Amino acid sequence: DAKTTQPPSMDCAEGRAANLPCNHSTISGNEYVYWYRQIHSQGPQYIIHGLKNNETNEMASLIITEDRKSSTLILPHATLRDTAVYYCIVRVAGDYGGSQGNLIFGKGTKLSVKP
């Protein structure tokens, strides 16, 4: 089962920041938080990931709370093309092998960016 909780849907006005929350209260100390998105039926697209510190790249920013029990993905200036399902995933630690490579996808948040 997914170790994260996300709202099923959110709306955002075009040009505004989209802030997508995620709860992961059972996260372990060496588990990373990953964010992916999926536009229609395309392959999931990697956005960003982090362990403890906040992270930023050309696509988004990731804010992780100090206790690591929740995080927020920020798309600074949402466009219509950012409409997608966004998945917050805690990468499961385990024996070296498949459990480290696997991503367990939950239901995600359907973000609708509106003109």
| Residues of this chain that bind other proteins (CB under 8 A) | 30-32, 34, 41-46, 49, 51, 91, 93, 97-98, 100-103, 105-107
Shortest distance (Å) from residue 16 CB to other proteins: 27
Shortest distance (Å) from residue 69 CB to other proteins: 18
Nearest partner of 78 among 92, 64, 91, 61, judged by Cα: 61
Nearer to other proteins, 1 or 115 (CB): 1
In the three-class reduction of DSSP (H, G, I as helix; E, B as strand; rest coil), residue 59 is classed as coil
Nearer to other proteins, 5 or 14 (CB): 5
Q: Which residues, 6+ apart, have CB-to-CB distance to 71 below 8 Å?
A: 21, 22, 24, 33, 50, 62, 63, 64, 65, 88
CA 82, 88, 93, 96 torsion-angle sign: negative
Nearer to other proteins, 40 or 115 (CB): 40
Shortest distance (Å) from residue 103 CB to other proteins: 6
